[in-house]
Structure 1
Amino acid sequence: MEEVKKEINLDSILESLGPYGRYNLLNFVLLLFPILLSSFFECGFIFEAQELAYRCEVDGCELRFNDTSWIDYAIPTDHVRNKPESCRMYIPLNSSEFQCMPHNFDLNRTMECDRYVYEDEHSLVKEFNLGCQEWKRALVGTIHNCGMFVAMLFTGAISDRFGRKMAVGFAASTSFIFGFSRAFAPNYLVYVALHFLEAAFGGGLYPSAYVFIIELVGLKQRVIVSAMCNMTFVIGVVLIALLAWVIDSWRTYILILYCPALIVVIYIWFMNESGRWLLSKGKRDKAVSVLKKAAKINNLDPRKLELDSLGDPLLKVESQTTDKKSQLSKAIRSSIIWKRLMICSFLWMTCSLVYYGLSINSVSLSSNRYVSFMLVTLVEIPAYIVVVIVLDKYGRKQTLVATYLTCSLMSLLFAFLPRNDYWSIPLYLVGKWSVTLAYSSVYIYVSEVFPTNMRQTLISMCSMAGRIGSLIAPMTPLLSLYHKSMPTVIFAAMCLISSTLVLMLPETRNMRLPDTIEEAEALSRKRTKN
């Protein structure tokens, strides 16, 4: 049975508190730090298990010190890369006096080798002897993203049931425990198992912190705050490339990435819970207390915000309804919510596949993989600046359609035009810029079409579908072995489909966040009336 009570207009109160007052700025800093760390945890594997040059070890030839001229007649040349082949060597002839000379090898026949000489002594590939097992190296990213997929199954439930603060603290704690332990993995199996566990339990760090931040501000600040989150993530990814460039040992690299998570574990418990979440759970007293603290920190009089009257015991009720379970049953029965969930999930999957696919494949754009990776990452910053302007000016739908179509076109041009530094790299960068803008828009858009009391759960379901894309992304470089353009053609097709699906969703520009299923469904009805 529903009971009508005086409603707290939270968006109005948040506007009155001032979106950039001391309270919000302090919380932004504290929550942007775990978002920075989430970039370490989500993208660190790209350099942690990066590709490494190696060749066969040839008995009797390796002791010739700095003289490597024998490689020309002991190991066949890979004419595509213009380097010695990694996995094959010419068959050595039986000879009592093997001198590593041309006549000691059968230059018409080759054999697979079982021992390798690696370019980097401190690489994971060398330490776990993954030579000619490229699938094992590529599997690291897929296993990590499998863990992220699992994380989405319960991250939303933790956040919506126990609070945003609990979700962030849990994700940071488990990331530290399993990530730190991975630096001491004795073998490949233990290493990938810890990779999975770290992602499975800590993979909800970004979405939990993101939802926490979004609920701190009113509707006018949602876009710019989201852009701040995304730019923080980009800064973290650039730091990863710089760190990998400087640090030789993969174990030291992991320790530096994961140790800062302990800082988040310590301070998160001293933060205030999201007032919007408290209201959605009927914890009106606690919500008013949080808002009063915010007003005090911002040097505002709570009476001017009508917080004292809102805290009256006569008005203490659940924010919208006394039946908490009814919202879940309504969501299950709502065809509008189901359609919205399916479409948003596909949009998210497209963004994940293309975004991570372009990032991973970027290391082959030029001779310096770190510079290539940083270029493809830094191009995201202009996208986050542009998104602040276009989302509020042109709306969510027009922006998404335009960015998906642009990414599709750039990917097709890159795939079929002759490779040339004058246009290949610019096309690639524009494609990455477009999908970054789309990804940022999708994150904002999805948070606006679902109700507060189920927002984190439904966002997690969309993000879980998105993880299917990030599961496939680490394997896309292997597709280029069959045809160099295959990965980018797949990216183009996904973006084209997504641009069409966006047209079936409502516009949410300048609309307050829906708190109930009814308010979320009303977005579609408003579109129909308009």
Structure 2
Amino acid sequence: MQKSTKEMEQRKEINLDSVLESLRPYGRYNLLNFVLLLFPVLLSSFYECGFIFEAQEQTYRCKVFGCDGRYNDTSWVDYAIPKNKERDRPDSCKRYVPLNVTEFQCTPEQFSNETMPCDAYVYEQSQSLVEEFNLGCQEWKRALVGTVHNSGMFAAMLVTGAISDRFGRRVAVGMAATASFIFGIARAFAPGYLSYLTLHFLEAGFGGGLYPSAYVFAVELVGLKQRVIVSAMCNMTFVVGVVLIAMLAWFVNNWRTYILILYSPAIIVGIYVWFMNESARWLLSKGKKDQAIRTLKRAAKINNLDPRNLELDALSDPLLKSDNQTVDKKSQFSKAIRSSIIWKRLLICSFLWLTCSLVYYGLSINSVSLSGNKYVSFMLVVLVEIPAYIVVVIVLDKYGRKKTMITTYLTCAATSLLFAFLPRSDWWSIPLYLIGKWSVTLTYSSVYIYVSEVFPTNMRQTLISVCSTAGRIGSLIAPLTPLLSVYHRSMPTVIFGGMCFLSSLLVIMLPETRNMRLPDTIEEAEELSRMKSKTDTS
């Protein structure tokens, strides 16, 4: 009996994190998997942000019959179409009423001072979505593309999380990539505006979980010491993808060709992901210990290691209750529903994510352009985020998750509030704004890492998806924040500052996860709130 007890104690000491460390985190097996998973991360940036240039704002004016196409010059525009003083260009939706004359020669005398709505348009850029669907002076229809996209992404979060946690990370990535390919390519051939919107919603709804699925898959490949670096790799890959979108849109004017180029590579992921090994951590969480051991043995062979030295047979099963009894999978969901600790953590993390999303996109939308070229401006605003992701790798492991999030939330709050009340003409207002953007980027990355560490493996992506869904609400609200400037020019940044300050207080109520292995069960996740990190107790 004593021998049996001793064996069980030895067995519990061997966990997946220690095995992953022994497997060499940056060995050939993981490096290959990182490449295979960072590719869908890159593609997810295309699919999450591609609509920005797909349905971008276009310059157009009224078509004046009798004038357009009659003369090589357009000097007649000055007396045929009123000028928009704010934008210093011809008005987009109005033209002067032509006088009833026998012969219309398009001269100044043949136009009155009264205006009328346009009945046809001349678009500056041909082969654009706005021009093809004739959306002139229907700005709400163009903006509706983004709303439909975000609505589809909103629906995708919970569905993808449930699929990932029930059927596996590999299945979730494969289904999302395949759906993106099918509905994305179909959208490129949409015959009309309504069919285009429908396909856009379906593509986002079924394929919108590509990033979180690939992200969770990648994080579960490594132990606790490498999680921050892997997360930073995902974030920087996403940034590179967004820059590539701007470069592609700069050179490809046809919106249908643009979509085909973006979505065609998804089929590659949809094929090769089925040849990848499933996450060993997910397999263990589902009680599939034999499959997990086979996966780890394959990894050991690829890394030129002897599987016998890893003591895989003694690997503890996170759902193992005793030698002959396994916890019912459904009971884990019931425990999560009844756990006040999990509920409190879920609500706080959802609010943190909502704040990050609202402030991040809100600051981007309300920011000042860095150059006259919209593509260059967009790329510069995105590239400024890379330093934040580099800093994340350094500070999260050195100072901990809580201290980092509290500091960055407070920094963003302070800079936002100072910017709101400082004269905009002062030289220091723009640096403050950029520091706020940099801070919320760092916070966003920290929250993404932290949320993946406080929930159990068997429900990790489902609960992450709930938080991500809350974040999607923030991204839906963000485009509306400029409208608040009508009431007071500083109202948007005051709201951003207040949200960040409140979030910094809520972080205090959460547990620290630095140097903690990923919890596999509800009990282990709850235990995080009852213990301090190893660093704090050392």
- Matches of 1:377 and 1:212, distance apart in 2: 25
2:476 matches 1:471: yes
Q: Secondary structure of the equivalent of 1:219? A: coil
Counterpart residue type for residue 98 of structure 2:
P
From 238, 253, 257, give the equivalent of 2:258. Answer: 253
Farther off after superposition, 25-34 or 64-73: 64-73
Q: Secondary structure of the equivalent of 1:111? A: strand
Partner of 1:145: 150
* Alpha-carbon shift at residue 183 of structure 1 (Å): 0.5
Partner of 1:154: 159
Partner of 1:408: 413
Task: State how many pairs are aligned.
Answer: 525
From 98, 116, 120, give the equivalent of 1:92. Answer: 98
2:282 matches 1:277: yes
* Alpha-carbon shift at residue 16 of structure 1 (Å): 0.8
Indicate if the aligned counterparts of 2:99 and 2:111 stay in contact, CA closer than 8 A. yes
Counterpart residue type for residue 309 of structure 2:
K
* Alpha-carbon shift at residue 480 of structure 1 (Å): 5.8
Counterpart residue type for residue 85 of structure 1:
D
Indicate if the aligned counterparts of 2:16 and 2:315 stay in contact, CA closer than 8 A. no
- Matches of 1:123 and 1:277, distance apart in 2: 44
* Alpha-carbon shift at residue 319 of structure 1 (Å): 11
TM-score (norm 1): 0.93
From 207, 217, 225, give the equivalent of 1:202. Answer: 207
Counterpart residue type for residue 377 of structure 1:
V
Gaps of 5+ in 1: none
Partner of 2:133: 128
From 54, 64, 69, give the equivalent of 1:63. Answer: 69
The Cα RMSD (Å) is 2.5
* Alpha-carbon shift at residue 120 of structure 1 (Å): 0.3
Partner of 2:112: 106
Counterpart residue type for residue 87 of structure 1:
C
* Alpha-carbon shift at residue 490 of structure 1 (Å): 3.8
Farther off after superposition, 281-290 or 72-81: 72-81
Change (3 A) 1:349 1:318: farther
Partner of 1:303: 308
Partner of 1:392: 397
* Alpha-carbon shift at residue 360 of structure 1 (Å): 4.6
State, as a whole percentage, how many aligned pairs show the same letter: 78
- 1:297-338 deviations in whole A, cap 9, x for unaligned? 1111112111245599xx998999422111111111111111
2:358 matches 1:353: yes
Indicate if the aligned counterparts of 1:284 and 1:319 stay in contact, CA closer than 8 A. no
Counterpart residue type for residue 491 of structure 1:
F
2:331 matches 1:336: no
Indicate if the aligned counterparts of 1:139 and 1:474 stay in contact, CA closer than 8 A. no
Indicate if the aligned counterparts of 1:376 and 1:429 stay in contact, CA closer than 8 A. no
* Alpha-carbon shift at residue 181 of structure 1 (Å): 0.7
- Matches of 2:395 and 2:402, distance apart in 1: 11
Q: Secondary structure of the equivalent of 2:501? A: helix
Change (3 A) 1:486 1:410: same
Change (3 A) 1:229 1:96: same
Partner of 2:42: 36
Q: Secondary structure of the equivalent of 2:116? A: strand
Change (3 A) 1:422 1:81: farther
Indicate if the aligned counterparts of 1:152 and 1:463 stay in contact, CA closer than 8 A. yes
Counterpart residue type for residue 45 of structure 1:
F
Indicate if the aligned counterparts of 1:362 and 1:376 stay in contact, CA closer than 8 A. no
Q: Secondary structure of the equivalent of 2:499? A: helix
Counterpart residue type for residue 155 of structure 1:
T
- Matches of 2:236 and 2:104, distance apart in 1: 60
- 1:441-478 deviations in whole A, cap 9, x for unaligned? 01100011111111111001111111111223344456
Counterpart residue type for residue 384 of structure 1:
Y
Counterpart residue type for residue 329 of structure 2:
K
- Matches of 1:79 and 1:122, distance apart in 2: 28
Partner of 2:89: 83
From 10, 34, 40, give the equivalent of 2:16. Answer: 10
Gaps of 5+ in 2: none
Q: Secondary structure of the equivalent of 1:91? A: strand
Equivalent residues in 2 for 1:167-178, closer than 5 Å: 167-178=172-183
Indicate if the aligned counterparts of 1:237 and 1:377 stay in contact, CA closer than 8 A. yes
Counterpart residue type for residue 291 of structure 1:
L
Q: Secondary structure of the equivalent of 1:15? A: helix
From 439, 451, 454, give the equivalent of 1:449. Answer: 454
* Alpha-carbon shift at residue 99 of structure 1 (Å): 2.4
- Matches of 2:47 and 2:517, distance apart in 1: 33
- 1:144-181 deviations in whole A, cap 9, x for unaligned? 01001111121111111111000000000000000111
Q: Secondary structure of the equivalent of 1:89? A: strand
- Matches of 1:319 and 1:15, distance apart in 2: 29
Change (3 A) 1:60 1:409: farther
* Alpha-carbon shift at residue 421 of structure 1 (Å): 10
Counterpart residue type for residue 336 of structure 2:
A
Change (3 A) 1:475 1:247: farther
Equivalent residues in 2 for 1:257-268, closer than 5 Å: 257-268=262-273
Partner of 1:439: 444
Indicate if the aligned counterparts of 1:345 and 1:465 stay in contact, CA closer than 8 A. yes
Q: Secondary structure of the equivalent of 2:531? A: helix
* Alpha-carbon shift at residue 112 of structure 1 (Å): 1.6
* Alpha-carbon shift at residue 364 of structure 1 (Å): 4.7
- Matches of 1:318 and 1:418, distance apart in 2: 69
* Alpha-carbon shift at residue 492 of structure 1 (Å): 3.2
Change (3 A) 1:228 1:311: closer
Change (3 A) 1:442 1:486: same
Change (3 A) 1:97 1:439: same
Farther off after superposition, 117-126 or 62-71: 62-71
Change (3 A) 1:458 1:323: same
From 24, 33, 37, give the equivalent of 1:27. Answer: 33
- Matches of 2:84 and 2:332, distance apart in 1: 62
Change (3 A) 1:123 1:317: farther
Change (3 A) 1:78 1:489: farther
Change (3 A) 1:482 1:118: farther
Change (3 A) 1:191 1:479: farther
From 181, 191, 194, give the equivalent of 1:189. Answer: 194
* Alpha-carbon shift at residue 418 of structure 1 (Å): 5.2
